[in-house]
Amino acid sequence: MSVEDLLNSIKSGKLKGSEIIEYFKSRSNKLDEKLNAYISKCEIKTNDGPLSGMPFAVKDNMQVEGTKTTCASKILENYNSTYTATAVEKLLEKGAVVLGKTNLDEFAMGSSTEYSAFFSTKNPWDLERVPGGSSGGSAAAVAAGMVPFALGSDTGGSIRQPASFCGIVGYKPSYGLVSRYGLSAFASSMDQIGPLARSVRDAAFIASFIVGKDPKDATTVEKKMDFLGKIEDPIEGMKAAVPKEFVEGLNSNTKSVFEEAIKNLEKLGVKVEEVSIPSLKYAVAVYYIIAPAEASSNLSRYDGIRYGLRVEEDTIDGIYSKTRDEGFGKEVKRRIMLGTFTLSATYYDAYFDKAQRVRSMIKKEMDDILSSYDFILGPTTPDVAFKFGELSSPLDYYLQDIYTIPANLGGMPALSVPMGFISKMPIGLQIIGKRFDDAKVLRVARNYEKVRGEFPMPTGGDE
């Protein structure tokens, strides 16, 4: 059942909030033995309100007082949250109940949840495959029906890519729409909190509670947004742009499912045209210069003195070095090394400064396209979820986010909605809009969802 259906059942007296919570706790306990979606389970409730009785899960890189916030890293393995992230707090104030903290790639750096320091989460559609990342635990929990919705964070596609792999909806709001206060920073200029849910309406409904200006996050903005008011309105007459850079080189299976999605949108009266955004070919390279640079700065706070793990040595430098060596995993170390290198005095102009200028170019070209079209359309991922250990090359691994990264570079809203199957595995359709055109993105996705038809739940882990 959707979040809205569950709440209506409570209002009509068919179900009690306590019964709903007990059902999802029981289902989580049963399925998590196979899926490993949670790092820790809990039951955090602070208020009654319109979301009373509604359980949800939180990616374990967000602070929730009364829980540990590990970021799936050994360096924070025993770190207790001392406050609650604003986005989570807003849901708790309305009566929602946190049932657990979900697994992720360490410090949200990864596309498979294989880089968690603790264990890998499995895809509910096929237990031999990854759920995507870095919000893989949140996506698997929602897809398997362990919670009605979850919060994730998206720096280069970490909500949308696992949503695509797990056959659910993942929505990354415009940068600045949701407070990042209480989210452990990875790349601050791109990090964004958003919902993962089973339907577009649920994603819009949850988003309506978490957006808004927060004095604790100077990057947030006050925007009046009605996510649900026009979500059912038709989209006839809208224009969609499909960058040829998104479809060149696409494998035949993904291309076939994507073409079917285009036909469904055309049935709704959308005019779909191919365009070119030449700078998109630089998006991955730009991201893997800027994001590690920001990460190397953000993660410098984990030094064995102020937070988490501390390994004793004779000198202060020795404590720093040994703590980070034992506390960070290989992918985090790789990105810190990359970031430190590109920020160094010798190479700053050659790499970081140049990447920032290309980022501006990518944003301008996307803005130019969105001034003539209502939205940009493409597959969320190049293919379906891969098997554990299948991608050993960092470059192949990084290319998993090739279609999702541009929206983060531009601060634009983007959403992945299930569009079909390839060899019984789901794959998503991505819709990108102009910054703060979030309501339109959700409206397009909702209309597509209706013409696509019912999307099934996975059976993996439930057998």
Q: Which of 141, 4, 73 has its CA nearest to residue 326?
A: 73
Cα(451)–Cα(267) distance, integer angstroms: 8
Q: Which of 28, 112, 134, 135 is catalytic?
A: 134
Contact between 445 and 397 (Cβ < 8 Å): no
Q: Which of 25, 59, 90, 434 is catalytic?
A: 59
Half-sphere exposure of 436 (CA within 13 A, CB side): 9
Q: Which of 111, 220, 124 has its CA nearest to residue 426?
A: 124
Q: What angle do CA 209, 214, 220 make, to 5 degrees?
A: 95
Cα(238)–Cα(370) distance, integer angstroms: 12
Contact between 432 and 185 (Cβ < 8 Å): no
Q: Which of 421, 430, 441 has its CA nearest to residue 402?
A: 430
Contact between 83 and 63 (Cβ < 8 Å): yes
Read off the tokens for 359.
């980022």
Region of 238 (left: φ > 0; alpha: ψ -120 to 50; beta: rest) is: beta
Q: Which of 333, 388, 331 has its CA nearest to residue 126?
A: 388
Q: Which strand (E) or helix (H) includes residue 32?
A: helix 17-35
**Residue 373, SS3 per DSSP:** coil
Contact between 117 and 73 (Cβ < 8 Å): yes
The shares of helix, strand and coil residues in the chain, as percent rounded to the nearest 5, are 40, 15, 40
Buried b (16+ CB within 10 A) or exposed e, 425-453: bbbbbbbbbbbbbbbbbbbbbbbbbeebe
Q: Which of 28, 101, 31 has its CA nearest to residue 69?
A: 101
Phi/psi of residue 391, nearest 5 degrees: -105, 100
Cα end-to-end distance, the chain, whole Å: 20
Q: Which of 52, 111, 112, 158 is catalytic?
A: 158
Cα(41)–Cα(120) distance, integer angstroms: 16
> Does residue 111 have an active-site annotation?
no
> Does residue 164 have an active-site annotation?
no
Q: In what order do the strands lie in the sheet with 149-153?
A: 38-44, 97-102, 55-59, 149-153, 193-197, 169-172, 414-422, 425-432, 375-379, 239-243, 271-275
Contact between 197 and 148 (Cβ < 8 Å): yes
The residues carrying an active-site annotation are 59, 134, 158
